[in-house]
Structure formats: C-alpha cells, structure tokens
Structure 1
Amino acid sequence: MAIHFDKVLGLHAEALKLRGERTKILASNLANASTPGYQARDIDFSASLARALGEAGEPLGGGAELLYRVPHHRSQDGNTVELGVEQAAFAQNAADFHVSLTFVQMKLRSLSKVIEG
C-alpha cells in the first residue's frame, strides 16, 4: 500500500515550505537594511498557504506572492527596511516554523509507529 505523504502531512508540510521561503525573504531584508533604495519584501503567509492548498485542502504547490512592505517611516535614501519590524517578523516566523516542524515530526513519529506495528 502506497503512502501519500502530501495527505499525511498536508497543511504542515506546505506551512514549512512557506515559512522557509519567508525566512529567506526576511533575512534578505535584514541583510539589506543599509542598502540605499532597497525595498523591504514579505509574503502574506495565510493567503499563500490557502493558495498552495487549494479549496480541497490538499497541496497544489505554487509559490508565495511577493509583496513590498510599506514603511511607517521612510528613510531619505529610499530604503524601506525598518530594523525593528524585520527583527520581530523574523523572530515570529522562526517560532511559527518551529511549531510547524513539531507537527510534522509528530505526524512522522505516528506514521513510523503504525509501520513498525
């Protein structure tokens, strides 16, 4: 009997992929905090997850739509990175990644127990 990991892991596997993408985007924002003209970017995680899962709730694939962050205070050099905002978003995303990873680990552990009998 074949095991369809997409169905077993479902939402959590897609969430991990998107959190990983978001980590790269937020890290890029932090790395470019002093780059003149750099535009801070992000993704709408909820909308991206809904799009990736489709209406049936099963993974369809598809990446996240990149959005540009509107700063509270624009710098004179045109850079829109606000260090505090980016650091908070990065920390929250890291915590959310850990939660999703924990769910995936629990699912895999349960699956392993079923296979082992």
Structure 2
Amino acid sequence: MLSKLDRALFFQEQALTLRAARQQVLAGNIANADTPHYKARDFVFATALQRALSNRGSEAVRLATTSPRHLAGSGDVAPTAMLYRQPGQASADGNTVEMDVERSQLAENSIFYEAGLTFLSGQLRTLSSALQGQ
C-alpha cells in the first residue's frame, strides 16, 4: 500500500525538491551580486527532473577512506550539473549576476513551487477521500 502511495507522489516530491534546490541557487546568486568575479550559476530544471525520475540522480558518492577507522559515509550530490549563466552585459568587476534576470527567475521558480504545492495538496485530498470512502 505504501509503495503505491509513494509511486503516486514521487513526481511531485522530486519536482518540489528540485524547485527548492533551484531557489537556493538563485538566492545564492542574488546574495553574491556584489562579489567581484562571482559567476552566476543555475541548472536546467527539466533536465534535472528527468534525471531524478529515471533514478540516475540518486547515485551516492562513495568517500575515499585511507584508514580502517574512517567512516564510509556518503556525500551529497548536486541535483544536476550546475551551469554558469552567460551575462547579457559584462560587469567591470567580472561578476556575472544580473539582478533583473535573477529576480525574474526567482519569481518564476516561486510560482512553480507554489503550483506544485497546490497540486500535491489536491492529490493528497483525493487520496484521503478515497481512503475514507467518501
């Protein structure tokens, strides 16, 4: 039963996780708008979602150990390949953050995140009413 619920909600879970990760990347770009030589970064959401859905994004990174007393652990991997954003106009200090672009991407991502939450809430309400037999 739980595996069926997990499968039903897997897409939205992955989409919301990637939207949250992208929000952090965009916020990092905005936070570094005045940092000399900072290169704005982003990732292609559709590619990252496709990778996550095909389970290729869940590969764990094995940490190298040089002593038997080291913990094996696993490292966190980025949701997808991070890309550098190409600026429309070069900055004198080498910074590639364009605030208008970052703000619009942040707003767009926020709207899609809220839409995903709304859709997920609807799915959960539907599943809940189906389980209750109403």
Write out aligned runs for 1:67-106 (5 A). Answer: 67-106=83-122
Aligned partners of 1:5 and 1:60: how far apart in 2? 21
Deviations 1:16-70 (A, max 9, x none): 010000000000001111111111010100011111112xxxx564422211101
Question: Is contact 1:6–1:13 with CA below 8 Å preserved after alignment?
Answer: no
Q: Give the TM-score normalised by the residue count of structure 1.
A: 0.89
Shift of 1:11: 1.9
- CA RMSD of superposed structures (Å): 1.5
Question: Which runs of no fewer than 5 residues in structure 1 stay unpaired?
Answer: none
Corresponding residue of 2:44: 44
Q: How does 1:1-117 map to 2 (within 5 A)?
A: 1-54=1-54, 61-62=57-58, 63-117=79-133
Provide the rounded CA distance (Å) in 2 between the counterparts of 1:49 and 1:87: 22
Residue identity matched to 2:96: T
Structure 2 unaligned blocks of 5 or more: 59-78
Moved over 6 A (4+): none
- Whether the 8 Å CA contact 2:57–2:80 is kept in 1: the answer is no
Query: Partners of 2:130 and 2:110 in 1: how far apart?
Result: 30
- How many pairs align? 113
**Quick one: distance in 1 between partners of 2:100 and 2:2?**
47
Distance 1:96 1:2 in 2: 27
TM-score by length of 2: 0.78
Highest CA radius of gyration, 1 or 2? 2
